[in-house]
Amino acid sequence: MPAIVALVESAYRGDASRAGWTTEADLLDGQRTSAADLLPLLRPPHSRVLLAERGGELLACAHLERQGEAAYFGMFSVRPTLQGGGVGKAVLAEAERFARSEWGCREMQMAVIDLRTELLAWYERRGYRRTGIFKPFPYGDARFGIPKRDDLRFELLVKPLPAERAA
């Protein structure tokens, strides 16, 4: 679990995250996750943490949670020095495959801070659609970070997951 926490922190917060293009360091300070936050994600049957490793080294992770016919995708982190190299694209594709094949989900959902235009465009190129449905940022809850701006909010993104074709 310490390796997952370290990966997530390196991808989102602090100077180390600036080596990649998905940093939130200009928007948020503070911790992105902790071992205490991860533990409840590992237990339920409707929740999975996907890991991408090479040679015993953690490269990327993501959390999936089944919510009825949809799967919620979050905590997506790729080692900053590997961002843009295809690892993230592969993890996202595996998450979609798992949600469709193992859980029978018809849709993927995620929430992205709407100021992160490059990240939103990346998801749109992979078939996600911005919905215009916004959720306020949880100001005052340090579990989500310490905001550097007062205009943060999340936008819901969705992607249909078509049924797999029979072989």
For the chain, the structural domain boundaries read: 2-160
Average pLDDT for runs of 10 along the chain of length 167 = 85 75 80 79 89 94 96 94 92 97 97 94 97 95 87 97 72
> What order do you get walking across the sheet with 57-67 strand by strand?
47-54, 57-67, 70-78, 107-113, 153-160, 129-136
Question: What is the CB neighbour count within 10 angstroms for residue 114?
Answer: 20
Q: What's the CA gap between 164 and 150, in Å, rounded?
A: 43
**pTM of the predicted structure, to 2 decimals:** 0.89
Q: Does domain 2-160 have CATH number 3.40.630.30?
A: yes
Q: What's the CA gap between 22 and 135, in Å, rounded?
A: 20
| pLDDT attached to residue 165 | 62
| pLDDT attached to residue 167 | 54
92: left (phi over 0), alpha (psi -120 to 50) or beta: alpha
